[in-house]
Structure 1
Amino acid sequence: MLLSLTTKVAADSGYGASCNSIAYYNAADGSKEMFANCRENSGIYNVDTVINPDSCFANDNGQLHARLWGRYSGSCSDVGLSGTVLHANCKNAAGVYVATSIDTNNYIGNYDGRMKCFGQNGH
């Protein structure tokens, strides 16, 4: 079983090589979204593909980590994206906000023009 989990994580990575205009957005309904233009298998770009980063990342004691439905945003603030690096101030067990970051390129892939993490497709 460990082998299949490792394979899944390795497979959902590398979107930065085939996606551009990657951005982070706080939606009006309070949800968080990452947008990008990602190349489809045909070579055409899918404009504004979206994935919810809460479905991919968690706050573990003030540190961002990759985890299916980690829902980091409930305990992190000042969230932004620099290239493929997600950065935030996340609350640790002592209630102190700590600066942290994670390279989303290691956990999000491009599957025929859509971002994907842990088997979860963006749209």
Structure 2
Amino acid sequence: MMLFHRLWDDSIRTGRFLRRWMPTNILLDKIRTRRGLKWGILAMLILGGGYIFAAAMCVTLVRHDWHESLYLLFALLLWNGFKFLWIGPTSLALFTRERLRERRASASVQRVGNSATSGSSPDLKDASFTTR
């Protein structure tokens, strides 16, 4: 049981370290903010495509008798490429959800404002001042 807890704690610490210090994770966290959602599709096309292209180049170099340790770089580049390819549709869905939430909030504020002004007619205000 102790081994399981230690492994669990180590995996949590590793995940926190990677989220805080790795450049791709920092950029993905910034894209997931409200102001960064508009950059998701661009990051998917440029960075995701670039990482996938670089991964393909690593495999090509290995096939042309370069050292096979490039497969480790290939795995890293492919993983980062898939992360950026995934952020495109995700940011589009999150951006759409935020815009709908903002539209609903502004519509409810308008409804509250209209109901407050339409409930009191000028005739009732005048009547309350004349009856003493």
> TM-score surpassing 0.5?
no
What's the TM-score, normalizing by structure 2? 0.21
Q: Which has the higher strand share?
A: 1
Structure number with bigger Rg: 2
Query: By percentage of residues, which structure has more helix?
Result: 2
What TM-score, normalized to structure 1? 0.22
